[in-house]
Structure 1
């Protein structure tokens, strides 16, 4: 556990559901530069149990009451996707910095509506694409930026597994639920194509953009056979890199996630693990200059804690944004909408021509 610094960002967590229990409460208590100042949830039984476990300074049943606390500096939005944008807007209007779980929004218009709010209130908004804080992916990014030269092609895949939940249950804390929890008006899992794209595709798209840059257009196909949904997406990047993405839910094998990148002065091959193992990706970087492969150990694999520390550094020290910013969040939503539109029409779709929901 990192040694706490003298100046700690005072963070409130909105929502006491699974992602808060599995990731964000612990991140706030362990982060070197942040503290769990407050938690908020409308479900009294759930909130009180989480307060007893994680010991925030304050707890709130009302979100506006938490935002009115003058000592609160930032909010982690750990709610259902449908609540992300209104919760982020209210926090920024109250002058609080925001770390919002991915996806930023469920439609292009919702995502873009946050631009003016963030600018008007002078606050930081970071999107919770925590894979950017995986030490293996960070090593790959440094090699791509500093040494690889021209990138030629990127292939990336995110394949959830039918065995994922027994494996996850073995390593996660016991998830506490409440019949009083607030739920979206529509069941997010009623449309599984949309649900899987938002839940898993958002990670895949962000990793591709993080490595290869802006996406201009996509040409996507979707197969739904034997209870397996498989998206194959050909990607046109702005810099001319060839791209291919594979999102499959769920493969009849172990969790299968990773990427291959081919470049002028070397290549990168990455294997990423189920995130709840908190194990850094195994990333092999081949340098043509010395004909050798290098791999960073990445002993600290707590991506969620490292994500929060990066967020806090931006606010407290004015450091560069290593995480996904507002524009990254908007671009990911655009890419997911374009993929859905390409599947529907059977044609390539440009990102600058899409609108509406995922």
Structure 2
């Protein structure tokens, strides 16, 4: 266990569903510089069980009442995607900092409106792209920024598999359910193309942007067959580097995720694991000058806890934000909408030209 800082961020979690139970409650109780101050959910049975299990000091069935608590510093928004933007806006207007699950929203217009609210609020909003807190990925980012020189090309892949629940059921806590939970107006899984892009494509897009920089255009092919979906995305980066993204669900093999980067002074090859294994990526960095390969070992693989600690460090100590901010969140949504438009039209689409939702 890490040492506990004397000064800690008081956090309230909105939503007691699976992602909160699997990731955010534990993160808030294990963080060195944050604490689980409050939980909020309309399902009282679920709320009380989670509060007792994780030691929250306060419980709320009304989100506005939680936000009105003067001792609350920040909220973690762990709800369905549809509720992300309105919940984040309410928190910011109440003077609270925000860590919101990815994707930050589902339409270009709503996330741009949220960006304006963030700007006016003077508060921090961090998007839950927790892979930025994978120490292996961070080692690749440091190499790209400091030693690699010009980037020639980046390839990245995210392929969920048919057997993933055998892994997650073994590593996650047994999920507690309630019939009283608040659900979105329509079932997100009724449109699997949209659901897969929002749930999984958001990770792939953010990893590509984190390592490769701004994406300006995408050219997409999509194939649907035997219940599987495969997006091959040719990417144009603002730097001039070439990119290729592979989002495939559900592959008949092991979880298959990683990236490869070709640069002027070296290269990177990474294998990323199912996040619920809490194992940092294996990232091999080849240094052209010394003809040697290096890899981070013994890395801290609790990405969800580390992202909360990153937000707390920014709020409490003024540390630069290490996670994805609202600008990254908007760019991610724009990229996903552009991918959808290109797949439908069969033509390249510039991110600056897209509007609407997935």
Q: State the TM-score, normalizing by the size of structure 1.
A: 0.99
In structure 2, the CA distance between the partners of 1:352 and 1:340, relative to structure 1 (3 Å rule), is: same
Q: Residue in 2 aligned with 1:133? A: 133
How do 1:106-145 and structure 2 match up within 5 A? 106-145=106-145
Alpha-carbon distance in 1 for matches of 2:116, 2:201 = 26
Query: Does the 8 A contact of 1:260 with 1:268 survive in 2?
Result: yes
Query: Does the 8 A contact of 2:136 with 2:299 survive in 1?
Result: no
What's the secondary structure of 1:113's corresponding residue?
Answer: helix
Query: Does the 8 A contact of 1:108 with 1:333 survive in 2?
Result: yes
Q: Residue in 2 aligned with 1:287? A: 287
Alpha-carbon distance in 1 for matches of 2:106, 2:173 = 28
Q: Residue in 1 aligned with 2:48? A: 48
How do 1:329-348 and structure 2 match up within 5 A? 329-348=329-348
TM-superposed CA distance for 1:299, in Å, is 2.9
In structure 2, the CA distance between the partners of 1:354 and 1:161, relative to structure 1 (3 Å rule), is: same
**Tell me, which stretches of 5 or more residues in structure 2 are unaligned?**
none
Matched, 1:97 2:105: no
Q: Residue in 2 aligned with 1:206? A: 206
Q: Residue in 1 aligned with 2:246? A: 246
Q: Residue in 2 aligned with 1:60? A: 60
Residue by residue over 1:208-227, the C-alpha shift from the partner in whole angstroms, topping out at 9 and shown as x without a partner, is 00001000000001100111
Query: Does the 8 A contact of 1:40 with 1:63 survive in 2?
Result: yes
How do 1:216-227 and structure 2 match up within 5 A? 216-227=216-227
What's the secondary structure of 1:290's corresponding residue?
Answer: coil
Matched, 1:262 2:262: yes
Alpha-carbon distance in 1 for matches of 2:239, 2:282 = 27
Alpha-carbon distance in 1 for matches of 2:226, 2:17 = 31
Q: Residue in 2 aligned with 1:79? A: 79
Query: Does the 8 A contact of 1:155 with 1:245 survive in 2?
Result: yes
Matched, 1:164 2:164: yes
Q: Residue in 1 aligned with 2:36? A: 36
Query: Does the 8 A contact of 2:28 with 2:305 survive in 1?
Result: yes
Alpha-carbon distance in 2 for matches of 1:273, 1:122 = 36
TM-superposed CA distance for 1:298, in Å, is 4.0
Q: Residue in 1 aligned with 2:186? A: 186
Residue by residue over 1:240-264, the C-alpha shift from the partner in whole angstroms, topping out at 9 and shown as x without a partner, is 0100000000000110000000000
What's the secondary structure of 2:11's corresponding residue?
Answer: strand
RMSD: 0.6
What's the secondary structure of 2:47's corresponding residue?
Answer: helix
Residue by residue over 1:333-353, the C-alpha shift from the partner in whole angstroms, topping out at 9 and shown as x without a partner, is 000000000011100000000
TM-superposed CA distance for 1:103, in Å, is 0.1
Q: Which runs of 4+ in 1 moved over 4 A?
A: none
Alpha-carbon distance in 1 for matches of 2:193, 2:119 = 34
Alpha-carbon distance in 2 for matches of 1:83, 1:298 = 37
Residue by residue over 1:90-129, the C-alpha shift from the partner in whole angstroms, topping out at 9 and shown as x without a partner, is 0000000000000000000010011221122110000000
Alpha-carbon distance in 1 for matches of 2:26, 2:340 = 35
How do 1:296-311 and structure 2 match up within 5 A? 296-311=296-311
What's the secondary structure of 1:112's corresponding residue?
Answer: helix
Alpha-carbon distance in 1 for matches of 2:98, 2:285 = 34
Q: State the TM-score, normalizing by the size of structure 2.
A: 0.99
- The alignment of Structure 1 onto Structure 2 pairs a total of residues equal to 358
